[in-house]
């Protein structure tokens, strides 16, 4: 069946109207269990296909029960809101269905991707950045870890680690994608040094230095330091300039995991949190977190050209047939076929401009300040750690954080998550959706307090500390 403009218009109009109206009316749904969903929705793949109108009906049934993540009741993860221009561009890119490996297949979209990489690189302080879009911060980090491995041990991509031991340094609060990447590229999880953090959740540079020097004395090759700009739970920023002092002294690759907090570089008031980013060798930056662009939209940037291609370029004559490699980003990617994540970010950035994004970040900080004030003045709440950015971590005194969050989800009041800070299970509320109002913040806390009041006393001490979501 061909897709006609008329059909597309009818379907999108119907589905999106019903979806958006329903979302506006009911910004959060109660949790539907897998059993309930299986009872109410037909998930089976049919032997014989059904007609398109029936498919639309089934899709509606699914979207009707889909968690709502763009609304004022969603505080659960590090993404939220919905940039209108980006959303439309995303729909269009599905229509065009280009694959981003070659200029031949994607034309102007390759130039869009290059412009974004140039612009984002400049923001980070890279004069002439190389980079590539990847499906999420985890894969951006993985790309950087792979390139860093090859920087530390020439020929590792061809011959493996050749009996050598490489080590990777990252703070104890960093994201789990870092040890995972170490496992994938052959460095190994056991060779990831977990560096303790200070009271604000920042990597202790003195302990980083000691760890690197110990490894050097033992014949281990320090391959990479991962500094986090915006840790997942407390939202802390490692001191990049100080860390770069250590990495440069020892010739170690410095990666900045700015998957979460990279966007803060766009705020004139808060960009100092990333001071020293220009000294990094690579940076991961998710636009699908603080920039309101639909998932997934992540970039890995390299300060020096040629690094990514040296690790990732394969000889594929059937694919890379014309144009120089610069126009064929497939030579710098972990992927072959690759969806177009660039055009939606470009569309959002056209509408917001640098200034609009700066204001967006200011709004997020203002919302977080409001949350912090509530925690400070409400005697039933206790702050878990000072916040450097837009996360506020707290406990309801004497009440179990995990159960509070689960009950709020089940009852369809609020989606908010919990994590671990300082050996205690805490509630983490995050502000990544600038369309929230102070009233939304007040209501979220009212729901938390009301939910907690209905629960018996409980303890939040946990044995092992692990970074969250």
Ligand X SMILES: Cc1ncc(COP(=O)(O)O)c(C=O)c1O
Within a 13 Å sphere around the CA of 257, how many CA atoms are in the beta-carbon half? 31
Q: Looking at beta carbons only, is 235 or 330 nearer to ligand X?
A: 235
Q: Looking at beta carbons only, is 129 or 259 nearer to ligand X?
A: 259
Q: Looking at beta carbons only, is 136 or 294 nearer to ligand X?
A: 136
Q: Which stretch binds ligand X (CB under 6 A): 58-66, 101-109, 132-140, 436-444?
A: 132-140
For the beta carbon of residue 96, count every other beta carbon within 10 angstroms.
11
Q: How far is the CB of 369 from ligand X (least distance, A)?
A: 21
Q: Which stretch binds ligand X (CB under 6 A): 120-128, 230-238, 367-375, 385-393?
A: 230-238
Decide if residue 468 touches ligand X (CB under 6 A). no
Q: Which stretch binds ligand X (CB under 6 A): 252-260, 309-317, 388-396, 413-421?
A: 252-260
Q: Which stretch binds ligand X (CB under 6 A): 4-12, 80-88, 134-142, 341-349?
A: 134-142
Query: What residues numbered 152-181 form the site for ligand X, per CB under 6 A?
Result: 175, 177
Decide if residue 228 touches ligand X (CB under 6 A). yes
| DSSP secondary structure, 16-64, as one string | HHHHHHHHHH-S--PPPPHHHHHHHS--SPPSS---HHHHHHHHHHHHT
DSSP three-state, residue 297? coil
Distance CA 66, CA 27 (A): 11
Q: Residue 264: phi, psi to the nearest 5? A: -65, -15
C-beta nearest to ligand X: residue? 137
Distance CA 232, CA 418 (A): 11
Distance CA 411, CA 416 (A): 12
Given candidates 131, 136, 235, 329, which one binds ligand X under the rule CB under 6 A? 136
Decide if residue 137 touches ligand X (CB under 6 A). yes
Given candidates 28, 78, 181, 221, which one binds ligand X under the rule CB under 6 A? 78
The partner residues of 226 in beta bridges, in order of sequence, read: 170, 255
Q: How far is the CB of 214 from ligand X (least distance, A)?
A: 26
Q: How far is the CB of 433 from ligand X (least distance, A)?
A: 15
Q: Which residues contact 163 (CB under 8 A, 6 or more apart)?
A: none
Q: Which stretch binds ligand X (CB under 6 A): 180-188, 229-237, 370-378, 437-445?
A: 229-237
Query: What residues numbered 292-331 form the site for ligand X, per CB under 6 A?
Result: 298
Q: Looking at beta carbons only, is 176 or 214 nearer to ligand X?
A: 176
Strand duo 298-302 + 282-286: pairing: antiparallel
Strand order, beta sheet including 253-258: 130-134, 298-302, 282-286, 253-258, 221-228, 166-171, 192-195
Contact present, 131 and 299 (Cβ < 8 Å): yes
Q: Helix crossing, 438-453 with 342-377: angle to 10°?
A: 60
The partner residues of 284 in beta bridges, in order of sequence, read: 257, 300
Instruction: Count the residues in the chain.
Output: 469
Q: Which stretch binds ligand X (CB under 6 A): 142-150, 193-201, 227-235, 412-420?
A: 227-235
Q: Looking at beta carbons only, is 177 or 282 nearer to ligand X?
A: 177
Q: Per the omega criterion (within 30 degrees of 0), is the bond before 125 cis?
A: no
Decide if residue 290 touches ligand X (CB under 6 A). no
Distance CA 267, CA 116 (A): 17
Location of structure tokens 């699908």? 288
Given candidates 69, 87, 232, 384, which one binds ligand X under the rule CB under 6 A? 232
Q: How far is the CB of 283 from ligand X (least distance, A)?
A: 12
DSSP three-state, residue 430? strand
Q: With CB under 6 A, what is the number of residues at the site for ligand X?
A: 17
Q: Looking at beta carbons only, is 137 or 434 nearer to ligand X?
A: 137
Q: How far is the CB of 467 from ligand X (least distance, A)?
A: 8
Q: How far is the CB of 178 from ligand X (least distance, A)?
A: 8
What's the N-to-C CA distance of the chain in angstroms?
42
Q: How far is the CB of 137 from ligand X (least distance, A)?
A: 3
Distance CA 376, CA 383 (A): 7
Query: What residues numbered 370-389 form the site for ligand X, per CB under 6 A?
Result: none
Residues in contact with ligand X by CB under 6 A are 78, 136-138, 141, 175, 177, 228, 230-232, 257, 259-260, 286, 298, 469
């Amino acid at each position: 069946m061909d897709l006609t403009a008329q059909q597309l218009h009818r379907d999108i109009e119907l589905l999106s109207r019903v979806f958006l109206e329903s979302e506006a009316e009911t910004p959060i749904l109660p949790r539907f269990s897998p059993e309930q969903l299986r009872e109410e929705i037909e998930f089976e793949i049919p032997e014989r296909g059904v007609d398109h109108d029936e498919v639309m009906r089934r899709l509606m049934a699914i979207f009707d029960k889909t968690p709502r993540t763009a609304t004022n009741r969603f505080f659960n993860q590090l993404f939220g809101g919905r940039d209108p221009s980006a959303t439309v561009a995303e729909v269009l890119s599905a229509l065009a269905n280009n694959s981003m490996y070659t200029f031949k297949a994607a034309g102007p979209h390759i130039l869009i991707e290059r412009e974004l990489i140039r612009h984002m690189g400049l923001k980070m302080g890279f004069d002439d950045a190389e980079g590539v879009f990847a499906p999420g911060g985890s894969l951006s980090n993985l790309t950087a870890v792979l390139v860093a491995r090859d920087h530390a041990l020439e020929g590792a991509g061809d011959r493996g680690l050749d009996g050598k031991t490489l080590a990777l340094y990252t703070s104890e609060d960093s994201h789990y994608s870092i040890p995972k990447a170490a496992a994938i590229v052959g460095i190994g999880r056991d060779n990831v040094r977990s560096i303790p953090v200070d009271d604000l959740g920042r990597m202790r540079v003195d302990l980083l230095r000691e760890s690197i020097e110990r490894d050097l004395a033992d014949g281990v090759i320090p391959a990479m330091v991962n500094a986090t700009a915006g840790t997942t739970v407390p939202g802390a920023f490692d001191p990049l300039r100080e860390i770069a002092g250590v990495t440069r002294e020892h010739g170690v690759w410095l990666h900045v995991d700015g998957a979460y907090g990279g966007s803060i570089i766009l705020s004139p008031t808060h960009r100092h949190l990333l001071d020293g980013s220009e000294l990094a060798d690579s940076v991961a930056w998710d636009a699908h977190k603080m920039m309101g662009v639909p998932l997934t939209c992540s970039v890995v940037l390299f300060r020096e050209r040629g690094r990514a291609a040296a690790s990732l370029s394969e000889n594929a004559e059937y694919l890379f047939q014309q144009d120089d490699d610069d126009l064929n980003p497939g030579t710098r990617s972990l992927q072959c076929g690759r969806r177009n994540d660039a055009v939606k970010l470009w569309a959002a950035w056209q509408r917001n401009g640098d200034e609009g994004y700066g204001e967006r970040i200011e709004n997020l900080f203002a919302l977080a300040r409001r949350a912090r004030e509530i925690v400070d003045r409400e005697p039933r709440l206790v702050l878990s750690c000072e916040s450097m950015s837009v996360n506020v971590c707290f406990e309801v005194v004497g009440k179990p954080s995990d159960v509070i969050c689960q009950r709020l989800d089940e009852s369809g009041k609020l989606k908010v998550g919990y994590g671990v800070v300082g050996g205690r299970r805490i509630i983490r509320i995050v502000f990544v959706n600038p369309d929230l109002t102070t009233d939304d913040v007040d209501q979220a806390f009212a729901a938390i307090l009301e939910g907690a009041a209905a629960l018996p006393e409980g303890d939040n001490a946990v044995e092992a500390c692990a970074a969250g979501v």
